[in-house]
């Protein structure tokens, strides 16, 4: 059987469908047609930043506008390249470009929606994204077969490891677990929930006896991302110390945990003027952001984490049926990312309202309607926003 000369070559393949080459030609013509408009938008954007007229807009609006312009320009240029490759029959690489363009169109669609709400431009972006997604599946059907074969082989290996009880363990022996996305994501989720439970119990029993306070750190669900990221950081740092002496694990955990706590406190105050804890006046505190007692607590948590919690957590994660583990993880990861992004946006809007700024885009108006100051105060009871304490310009 003769290989297809169009795959990976510079010649037009005889087996490249005529419709696909027509599609490529249309993409090139469309890209060329909008080049003047792209140049004009870039020049206008550059003049806005040179003149500093963006200073009256909120940081969120500026970020969304830059994302819209960048994604739009990328899609136009990449579409031209995609059309050229389709004309030459280079379908394998064309598929990768189609994926990138589709993602760029989604970014542009979301930025446009969040800036201007529902408007006629969204229909064009949505239709373009749909066309690119269809083309992405069509341009090289053989790749779908290859991915399906790889998926089946991976599932077979996963099933064998699950039956042997070695699923998730580091096969090289240098660390305890494999530092892959699956393990780290579920470590983040479980630690986020456990952190909320432990901190809530500590507050009820020690800080303010009998008084419950919501300690969650995201808009929805019983999650505290500080503990989740802290657990991931501890896992990355201590994975190779699972057989180290306890004093070594304690010291490494204390230093890493204290540094992490300091950074989170600094970031929240710098970006949002948010103060969630203040250890000023306590023994060996560092700018009130961490202190000796909590660094020791981080050290103890690190020992418990590496020696006891991590093996139990890995066992719990592996209870997820191996046939569903990837689809469930992908779905939960998408929901968690959305939750995190919306939390940051809502906090930024909360900050802007307290600073006296009125909503100036559709997203900020949505947050003002659904996550007003009272709602945010009730949700984040342990946090207070002080715009005067923030270090950003607006």
**Tens digit of each residue's pLDDT (9 = 90 or more) over 292-311:** 998 998 899 889 888 888 88
Q: What angle do CA 15, 19, 21 make, to 5 degrees?
A: 70
Residue 1 to residue 67: CA distance in whole angstroms: 47
Backbone angles phi, psi at 30, to 5 degrees: -65, -40
- Asked if the model's pLDDT at residue 16 lies above 60, the reply is no
pLDDT tens, residue by residue, 37-66: 567 666 766 666 666 665 666 777 778 888
- Asked if the model's pLDDT at residue 356 lies above 50, the reply is yes
**pLDDT value at residue 170:** 74
Residue 270 to residue 141: CA distance in whole angstroms: 50
Q: Which of 5-19, 304-318, 323-337 has the lowest mean pLDDT?
A: 5-19
Give buried/exposed letters for 187-199 (b at 16+ CB in 10 A, else e): bbbbbbbbbbeeb
- Asked if the model's pLDDT at residue 5 lies above 50, the reply is no
Nearest to 13 by CA among 144, 148, 101, 142: 142
Q: Which of 33-42, 111-120, 259-268, 355-364 has the lowest mean pLDDT?
A: 33-42
**Confidence tier at 206 by pLDDT (50, 70, 90):** confident
Tokens (6 digits) for 164: 């042997």
DSSP 281: T
- Asked if the model's pLDDT at residue 193 lies above 90, the reply is yes
Tokens (6 digits) for 116: 């201007």
Nearest to 216 by CA among 378, 387, 335, 349: 378
- Asked if the model's pLDDT at residue 147 lies above 70, the reply is no
**pLDDT value at residue 374:** 92
User: Does 6 or 388 have the greater pLDDT score?
Assistant: 388
- Residue 279: how many CB atoms within 10 A of its CB? 19
368: exposed, middle or buried (Cβ count in 10 Å: 0-12, 13-18, 19+):
middle
Q: Whose structure tokens read 């994660």?
A: 317
- Asked if the model's pLDDT at residue 13 lies above 50, the reply is no
At residue 224, the 3 state secondary structure works out as: coil
**pLDDT value at residue 1:** 40
| DSSP element (H, E) containing 53 | none
Residue 377 to residue 385: CA distance in whole angstroms: 9
Residue 276 to residue 226: CA distance in whole angstroms: 11
Backbone angles phi, psi at 169, to 5 degrees: -80, 150
- Rg of the chain over Cα atoms, rounded to whole angstroms, equals 26
Helix axes 225-238, 292-304, angle to 10 degrees: 60
- Asked if the model's pLDDT at residue 160 lies above 60, the reply is yes
Residue 155 to residue 325: CA distance in whole angstroms: 10
DSSP 89: T
User: Does 146 or 326 have the greater pLDDT score?
Assistant: 326
Residue 114 to residue 345: CA distance in whole angstroms: 11
CB 265 within 8 A of CB 277: yes
Residue 208 to residue 213: CA distance in whole angstroms: 9
CB 15 within 8 A of CB 4: yes
Average pLDDT, the chain: 77
Contacts of 155 (CB under 8 A, 6+ apart): 322, 323
- Asked if the model's pLDDT at residue 347 lies above 80, the reply is yes
The region, left, alpha or beta by phi > 0 then psi within -120 to 50, assigned to residue 3 is: beta
Most confident of the following: 299-303, 325-329, 356-360: 299-303
CB 160 within 8 A of CB 166: no
Q: Which of 21-25, 253-257, 312-316 has the lowest mean pLDDT?
A: 21-25
> H helices of the chain, where?
18-33, 35-51, 59-87, 91-116, 121-138, 141-164, 181-202, 225-238, 246-272, 292-304, 310-317, 325-354, 362-370, 373-379
Q: How far is CA 9 from CA 13, 257, 361, in A?
A: 9, 53, 47
């Amino acid at each position: 059987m003769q290989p297809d000369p169009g795959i990976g070559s510079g010649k037009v393949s005889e087996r490249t469908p005529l419709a696909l080459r027509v599609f490529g030609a249309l993409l090139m013509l469309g890209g060329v047609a909008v080049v003047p408009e792209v140049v004009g938008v870039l020049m206008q954007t550059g003049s806005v930043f040179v003149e500093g007229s963006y200073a009256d807009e909120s940081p969120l609006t500026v970020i969304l506008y830059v994302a819209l312009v960048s994604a739009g320009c990328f899609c136009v240029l990449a579409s031209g390249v995609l059309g050229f490759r389709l004309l030459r029959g280079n379908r394998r690489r064309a598929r990768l470009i189609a994926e990138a363009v589709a993602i760029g169109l989604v970014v542009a669609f979301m930025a446009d929606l969040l800036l201007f709400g529902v408007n006629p431009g969204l229909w064009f972006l949505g239709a373009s994204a749909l066309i690119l997604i269809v083309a992405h599946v069509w341009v090289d059907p053989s790749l779908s077969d290859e991915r399906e074969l790889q998926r089946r082989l991976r599932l077979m290996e996963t099933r064998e490891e699950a039956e042997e009880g070695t699923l998730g363990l580091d096969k090289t022996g240098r660390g305890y677990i494999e530092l892959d996305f699956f393990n780290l994501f579920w470590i983040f989720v479980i630690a986020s929930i456990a952190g909320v439970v432990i901190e809530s119990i500590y507050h009820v029993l020690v800080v303010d006896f009998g008084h419950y306070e919501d300690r969650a750190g995201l808009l929805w669900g019983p999650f505290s991302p500080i503990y989740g990221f802290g657990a991931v950081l501890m896992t990355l740092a201590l994975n190779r110390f699972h057989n180290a002496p306890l004093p070594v694990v304690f010291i490494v955990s204390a230093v890493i945990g204290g540094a992490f706590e300091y950074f989170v406190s600094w970031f929240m105050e710098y970006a949002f003027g948010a103060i969630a804890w203040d250890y000023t006046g306590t023994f060996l505190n560092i700018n009130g952001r961490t202190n000796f007692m909590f660094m020791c607590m981080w050290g103890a948590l690190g020992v418990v984490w590496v020696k006891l919690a991590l093996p139990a957590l890995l066992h719990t994660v592996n209870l997820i049926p191996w046939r569903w583990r990837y689809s469930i993880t992908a779905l939960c990861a998408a929901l968690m990312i959305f939750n995190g992004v919306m939390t940051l946006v809502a906090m930024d809007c909360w900050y802007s309202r307290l600073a006296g700024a009125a909503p100036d885009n559709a997203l900020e108006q949505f947050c003002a309607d659904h996550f007003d100051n009272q709602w945010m105060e009730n949700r984040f009871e342990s946090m207070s926003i002080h715009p005067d304490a923030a270090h950003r310009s607006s």
